Structure formats: C-alpha cells, structure tokens
Structure 1
C-alpha cells in the first residue's frame, strides 16, 4: 500500500499541471463561499425575497459543503479519485450556471445547495491530490501552494463580488465559474491519476445509515449556527428541534461508524496524535480566518459607510502578504523548522493583529489605520495554515491522507461557521449591554449633556426648523451617536476576545510533541 502511495508522486510538467488544477478548484470553491455576501441586496431586489430568505443563499451552500466534506475520501475510493474529482467539478460548474439562471429565491437556494455538494469535494480532494503529488520531503511546499487558495480565497470573494455587482449584474458572480470549471474538468480527466487501492464496496456493504446520520447531524448543526441569532436561538421552535437532532445525529453517527465494518467516515484515523491536534487547530484557524473576514467588512460598511468594493479592497494587501509568506514557510518546514514553533508565532501574530484592531476602532477610523494591522494578520495566517496542515497530515500514509484531509477541511469549515455565528450573537448582545451602559450615564441634568443638546438644537434652528422639531432632532442625533458608539465598542470586544482565544492556544501548541518535522516526513516514506 505504501508503494502505491509513493507511485502517485508526479514530476515535472505533470506535477505543475496537477498543482494548478487543484489550486484553481480550491480557489473556485472558497471564493464562492464569500463572493455572494456583497450581492445579497441585489439578489433580494431582483428575485423578490426577504432578507432572511436571501441569507439562505449563503446557508444552503455551507450546508452542502459541510455534509459532503467528510464523505469525500470514501467517495473517492468508491468511484476512483479522478472520476469523482471530475464529476464534482462538473456538478459545481453546471449548478453555477443554474444559479445564474434562477427565477426565484428558492430556486437559487436549491442550486446553491447542489453547488455546495460539488464544491465541498473540490476543497478536500484538491488537498489530497497536491499532498500525494509531491514527495514527503516537499510536503511543506505542497501545502503552501494549496494554502494560497484557501487563505486568499475568502479575501478575494468580496472585492471581486463587489466589482462584478457594481459593473455588471449578480448572475455574473456565478457565470465567472463556468470557463474555469470547464478548463479544470478537462485538465483533471487528462492528468490526474487515481490510486490503485480504491476498494469499491458492493451496494449491500455501503453505509447508508452513516450517510443519513451524517447529513442530519451536520446539516442541522450548520442551520442552527447560520440562523440562530436571526431566529432568536432557543426561543425558536425549529432551532430547538434541530439542536436536538444535531446532538442525537452525532451520537448515533459516531456509534455507527465505530461499530460498522465499512464506515463512510473512518473515525479511527483520529487516533493519530498529529491529526487530532491538527483537527483542533484547523477549527481555531477557521474561526479566526472566517470570523475576521466577516467582521471587518461589516464594521467598515455599517459603521464607516464604505462601499462593498472599498471594504473588499482593504483586505487585498494582507492577502498578498499571506501569499508571499506561504512559500517562505514551506521552505522553513523543508529545512526542518518545528511546526509547533511556527504555529505559536502565527498565533501570537494573530493576537497582535486583534489587539491592534481593539485599539484603533472608533466611529470614524481612517483607511490608513487598518493597513499595518491587516499586514500583521496576513503574516499570522501565512504562519498558521501550512504548519497546521503539514502537522495534521505528516504521519499519515496511503488512503489515511485523504481521510485526514477531510477531517481538517471539515473542522476548518465548521470553525468558520461557529466563528460567524458566535461573533454575530456576541455583537448583538454586547451592543445592547454597551448601549444600556452609555444611556445610563447620559444624565439630562448634566450641564455637558444639556450643552450638547442645545448646540444641536441651535444647529437645526439655523436650518429653519421650529424650536420643538429642532430639539427632537437634537435628541435623535444624540441617540444615533450613542448607538454608533455602542456598536463600535461591540466590535472592539470581538477583536479583543478573538485575539485572546489565539493567545490562550499558544502554550497548548508548544506542548505538543509532534513538532519534529524531519522525523514526521520520513515516517511517510
């Protein structure tokens, strides 16, 4: 089996083509996660849906993704990796076209779910393909190249989406996938090879119950995370029912997979120490990556009044820094740098970025203030992604690589969903707390407050308002100022706690005994 594993290593032109194909597919999948965020308003106007209906365009894609990711390794073995990868690209491309053609909101949601099924497979299979195409001593470089797509993708989505929506119309954010998907499918059929140890199961051996339980558990969890805040969490009957089905689904799924002879997800592979540490770190990375990609455009657009394109472009320099960091980190790993040291430095860098954000946020922070802070974020992410992935997959062999990649991929996606859900809820709660606190300090008998209101009233009187209307308008402006300040303080809290979460992880990372990358990579031989 190990010989089979070694025989998948490619050289020269073939390896370049496979790498380009895999990165292209990873990019397609991830850009599509965030590209629609800036187009939701246009979709709503065009297709006549409510805000909560149109947010299903994001939720459906995420649910499709998370359900299919853990199954990819099994499906690859069942149908052959090349066939499965090519089929996933075709499903993704065709459903992209159908998304652009949708006539109403629920049609679009359905096609986004199908697109998510195709897309989830692209991400993990791309990672496995790249890992297997490079010899073990070059795994760090391989993960660096793959990481480009994963880290740069979420950042590219909003500015690209903003540009397309501002200059064309929303269906083009889906049509842009079609030529790229066709090229990727043709390259896959021509150049990708399937491992020989693909052991097909007969129809009677297939773990149908495992598939059903996994879909129920993960689908329900994703729904709860995406919709919880909007639907008021456990005061909503559907959220309560789906929370129960999440817990029961996971319980029976784990029991089934550990007792069934041909499980659809091989949970036993998590006994590998490196993989279990890497899986937890992938969750935290997803939380930080998607959480901060979500909160910065939200702050710049809602509080500072920027356009979608402006807030998207803000993230680009940091993405370029991350892209430049990737090959450097790959080289460091190849030269024997310990993975856990690089991860620890990356987590400290992420803490510095978050604390910096906490310090500079105001109701009118200038664009220049973000630049250096986001560069630090770029460096931090560059130091985190490659070492975490290499650490997770470094001592796996053969088909275990695909199974391991599926776990880290799923945990990164779920970490992102948790991040966005937790941050959304946290901002809403903190906003109310800060607002109540600020209002309690606004004593109407306080001379400073009276002076402020009188100044505002005089301002409005100068614009020709009656004294009564001018006074009301003065209070309204004061109320808006308080609301804005409370919101900014909530964002400050998000940055502070996100940074502390990464800082707390540093000692745990340094305690892991799996940092000897020389030994790790030789173990794969």
Structure 2
C-alpha cells in the first residue's frame, strides 16, 4: 500500500465509521421524548430503542474478530457500514415504536462491527513510527462521539424532527463505503477462521444480550423484585459462563480468550472497562443534571459539552506525537489522565443550584485533557504484546469490555442516584417541621406569596408546603449528584496505582507499535 496519501484516507474512512457508531450510541437519548409523542409509545416501550441497539452492538463487537477473519477485513467493514446505513433509513421511516426497535437492533448489528474493526485496520496499516498520530486521530472519533452526540441530538430535537437523527448517517455511510473499497486493503497475514460455532453464538447472545438488558432495564424494573430481571439475569449468567467454557474447549473459538494470557493485554482490558465506565457515566450524568435540575434545553446542554470535546480532540494528536518521540513511558501519560479525571469529578462535587454554564467550562476542559491523555497510551500498552494477526481479536475483546464498562457505569450511577436521593430527601425533610424556626419562616413566606395572589389561607398553606417539599427534593438531588461525581472521581484515583501492573521486563517491539516498557 502507498503510505503517502492513501493511508490518511484510511484514517478518514475509519474515523468516519467510528463517529457513526459512537455518535449513534448517545444521540438518540435526547430525542426520546419527541419519539414517544410522535409514535404514541410509553417510556418503557421507547427505552427499548436504546437497549436493543446496545445489546446488538455488544454482541457484534464480541464477534467482530471472527467475522473479520471469515469474511475478510475490508468486506466485513464495508458490510457493517452498509447495514448500519440502510438500517438508519428504515429507522427514520418507522411508523410505530416496535418497527423502530427492530431496525435499531439491525443498526446495532452493523454498528458493532465498525469500532473494533476500524481500530485493527489502523494498527495493521500504519508503520510503528506513525501509529501514535493515526491512533490519536481515530481516538478523536471514539472519545468525541459520545460527547457531541447529545449536542447534535439536542439541535435536531429543537429544530427538526427525530427522524433526522437517523437520516444524517446516510451521506457519511455512503462516503465511508466508497472509500473503504477504494483504499482499504486486506492484510498480508490472515487468520483462517473456523466454522461458525452456533452453540457459542447462542450462548453469546444469551450472555451479552441478557446482561445488557439487565443493566439497561434493571433500574426501571426495580431490579431483582422483577421476575423479568431475575429471568434475564439467570440467562445472562448461564450464557456468559457457557460461552467462556465453549471458547476454552474448541480449537477455533469465536473470541480468542487465550490472548488474556498476555499480562499487559489482560491489564489493559481491565482498564478499558474503567475507561468505558468513566466516559459513559460522566457523559450520562451531566446532561441529566443540567436538563432535569437546572432547566437547560437539549441544545444548551449539548453546547455545554462541546468545549471539553474539542479539547479532547486537540489533545489526541499532541499525545500521539509525544508517544512517537518515546520521551517517557505511556504509563505516565495514562496516570496523569486519570488524575485529571479525578480533578474534574472533584471540582463538580461542589455543584449547587446556582451553577450556570460557566461553572462547567473548566471542569469539562480538564476532563477533555484527561481523556485525551488516557485513550492513546492505554491502547498502545494494551495491544503492544499482540502479533499483527491477533489484533482483530484483541480489539474485539477490549471493545466489548469497554462497551460493557459504559453500560455498567450508567446502570450503577442511575441506581445510586435513585437510592441516594431518597436518603438525602429523608434527612432534609426531618428539618422541615414546626419546631425549626427557619422552616416556619420559609413556610410563612411561601404562604404569604400565594395569599398575595388571591388564594384562600388553607389553599395557600397547602401550596406553601408543596413548594417547600419541592425545594427539599431539588436540594436532595444536588447533594446526590455531588456525591456521584465524588464517587466516580475516587474510582479513578484508586485505579492510578493499578497502572503499575503494566510494568515488567523490557519487551521486544512488535510491528504494530513502538512502545517499550521497562
């Protein structure tokens, strides 16, 4: 392959595909209310639009390494883009919620093959001295996508119809497909894939699909008090254990778990879970807080996240260039990134009802710098010990783990916010009584306000107590979100010493990276 112009077209192609997948994983969230109204769906029904996509995508991420070997890298990548784009058309033209859910599942099947295959294409295409910059540009798509998704979704929600959330994929999908066939080549080394293991596929679908559904729907169904969640948990457990067993006993597995014998790859896989947890949990929490408590519109919330996303994008090539110079170990860049992420969370743990857009600017800039310093070094360390022919399987495994980390993070934080809000509201309500002079004075003020508007004394008093209860609940939510940011930050801080697990003896530099650890 010509390593001049062509390779940068490859970067553009795979980054476009990565953006399609990552943006679509979050863009729909801010349009759900409009979808509910237009399609006549309940909240429970419309939530399957998100859950179905996530479950299908997670399953296909896991299978992408095997499918790359079976169909060929270019063919599978192009087929994933085409399927994703066609499904986007049908999602936009759906006339009822279950039609939309079905095509979102199909879209997830296509989207699941984009991200990990794109990463393996880059690693197998670029020489080691240019891999840092290439990964940096690709990383912009991976990290920025979930952040600009709400921005784009908010704009579409406020100015167009929900259908355009899907239609905007079409021109990018067509362009990426054409560029794939023109510029992406098959690698010189190929892995011969075995026959499809249908038992493993069934177990994988049960395990990953069931787990995604439990994590996405658990809070809504009140977790294990729901028979549905219990059944899905059992299916998930049986499926995951059965799939792992199957992969260990067959000669040509769908997912090569033997790669985890490489210590750095195993540790890197763990950190990919942490990265997914922090990235998706923080992206989920901030928009919810801003819209439900501070009253921001979808567009305002999206614009709020934009500066941090831009900063991440700016940091990616900088970090990639520094890695190519090999000044210091990638471990140190990742450690600084984790510490910056802790600083971002700690800063937001002081949040209050008086917070405006300016309050979030610098914390999100810090987060953007931190994410930029984590992604590329982490990718470099994780895949350093793998051979070129093992990269597709390695990318599939780490991609699946990162996706599950994001789902776990969102589910855990949602449940925590729900239970912690009840705790804070209960404690604050204890202070609202006739024995508390401040409470009595506040009730008198509220009552006087409603009396001045012509309400009777009994009506005004009832409204005053209701207003007081609303104020208590808002303050409880603020305290809860502050606790949530602090917990996420502490999680990242505790993980910093674990980076030492990457340190080992000096290793031979493989063809796909220049990283040397001592």
Alpha-carbon separation, structure 2, partners of 1:406 and 1:348: 28
Alpha-carbon separation, structure 1, partners of 2:53 and 2:486: 30
Does 2:410 match 1:420?
Answer: yes
* Contact 2:124–2:187 (Cα < 8 Å) also in 1: no
Does 2:166 match 1:174?
Answer: yes
Corresponding residue for 2:423? 433
Does 2:256 match 1:255?
Answer: no
Cα offset, 1:441, TM superposition: 2.3
Q: 1:155 to 1:367 in 2, by over 3 A?
A: same
Corresponding residue for 1:17? 9
Deviates more, 1:331-340 or 1:136-145: 136-145
Does 2:348 match 1:353?
Answer: no
Alpha-carbon separation, structure 2, partners of 1:273 and 1:142: 25
Does 2:255 match 1:265?
Answer: yes
Alpha-carbon separation, structure 2, partners of 1:514 and 1:134: 26
TM-score for both structures, normalised by structure 1: 0.95
Cα offset, 1:158, TM superposition: 0.8
Corresponding residue for 2:369? 379
Does 2:53 match 1:92?
Answer: no
Alpha-carbon separation, structure 1, partners of 2:2 and 2:204: 34
Corresponding residue for 2:149? 157
* Contact 1:69–1:121 (Cα < 8 Å) also in 2: yes
Q: Secondary structure at the match of 2:388?
A: coil
* Contact 1:80–1:195 (Cα < 8 Å) also in 2: no
Alpha-carbon separation, structure 2, partners of 1:153 and 1:514: 34
Corresponding residue for 1:341? 332
Does 2:160 match 1:141?
Answer: no
Does 2:50 match 1:50?
Answer: no
Q: 1:446 to 1:38 in 2, by over 3 A?
A: same
Corresponding residue for 2:379? 389
How far does the alpha carbon of each residue in 1:130-186 deviate from its partner, in whole angstroms, 9 at most, with x for none?
Answer: 111111233222221110000110111111111112211111110111111011111
Q: 1:40 to 1:222 in 2, by over 3 A?
A: same
Q: Which runs of 4+ in 1 moved over 4 A?
A: 199-202, 514-520
Q: 1:523 to 1:321 in 2, by over 3 A?
A: closer
Q: Secondary structure at the match of 1:107?
A: helix
Deviates more, 1:511-520 or 1:442-451: 511-520
* Contact 1:283–1:415 (Cα < 8 Å) also in 2: yes
Corresponding residue for 1:460? 450
Does 2:276 match 1:298?
Answer: no
Corresponding residue for 1:451? 441
How far does the alpha carbon of each residue in 1:304-335 deviate from its partner, in whole angstroms, 9 at most, with x for none?
Answer: 00100000100000011111100111111111
Cα offset, 1:396, TM superposition: 1.2
Corresponding residue for 1:238? 228
Alignment length, in residue pairs? 513
Q: CA RMSD in A?
A: 1.5
TM-score for both structures, normalised by structure 2: 0.97
2:212 to 214, 218, 222: 222
Alpha-carbon separation, structure 2, partners of 1:42 and 1:517: 54
Please list every run of 5 or more consecutive structure 2 residues that lacks an aligned counterpart in the other structure. Answer: none
Alpha-carbon separation, structure 2, partners of 1:13 and 1:458: 73
Alpha-carbon separation, structure 2, partners of 1:243 and 1:376: 38
Alpha-carbon separation, structure 2, partners of 1:508 and 1:73: 28
* Contact 2:66–2:193 (Cα < 8 Å) also in 1: no
* Contact 1:78–1:198 (Cα < 8 Å) also in 2: no
Corresponding residue for 2:303? 313
How far does the alpha carbon of each residue in 1:271-318 deviate from its partner, in whole angstroms, 9 at most, with x for none?
Answer: 111211111111101111010000000000000001000001000000
Cα offset, 1:198, TM superposition: 3.5
Corresponding residue for 1:108? 100
Alpha-carbon separation, structure 2, partners of 1:273 and 1:327: 28
Cα offset, 1:34, TM superposition: 0.6
